[in-house]
Amino acid sequence: QKEVEQDPGPLSVPEGAIVSLNCTYSNSAFQYFMWYRQYSRKGPELLMYTYSSGNKEDGRFTAQVDKSSKYISLFIRDSQPSDSATYLCAPIKAAGNKLTFGGGTRVLVKP
């Protein structure tokens, strides 16, 4: 079993819909959680960074963490074609120095 699991997709939605992305992890030592967005032929870019259980909002993006279930989510409201990308979840240990990445979920937002 991989430490971090994501559905590879693709997840196809119409423009304006809510995109819901999920990630599960097995290591309870993970305490910080990051979401990265990766466009084709580009490096990943940091989208959201959260620590505590609960919700964190940033514009159209909401990250949700449930440490008891080892389950994290990313929601994209009012999705745009420019949101079409691969979304990678990346938890890290409290005293950690390297991210462990999920395989990513590919999202397609159709105009």
Partner 1 sequence: GAGVSQSPSNKVTEKGKDVELRCDPISGHTALYWYRQSLGQGLEFLIYFQGNSAPDKSGLPSDRFSAERTGGSVSTLTIQRTQQEDSAVYLCASSSGTGNSPLHFGNGTRLTVT
Q: Which residues contact 77 (CB under 8 A, 6 or more apart)?
A: 18, 60, 61, 62
CA distance 40 to 69: 32
User: Parallel, antiparallel, or unpaired: how do β-strands 19-25 and 71-76 relate?
Assistant: antiparallel
Q: How far is the CB of 95 from partner 1 (least distance, A)?
A: 9
- Residue placing its CB nearer to partner 1 in the complex, 10 or 81: 10
Site mask for partner 1 (CB under 8 A), range 68-97, x = bound? --------------------x---x-x-xx
List the one residue from 45, 57, 58, 66 that touches partner 1 (CB under 8 A): 45
Tell me which residues touch partner 1 (CB under 8 A). Answer: 4, 8, 32, 34, 36, 41-46, 49, 88, 92, 94, 96-104
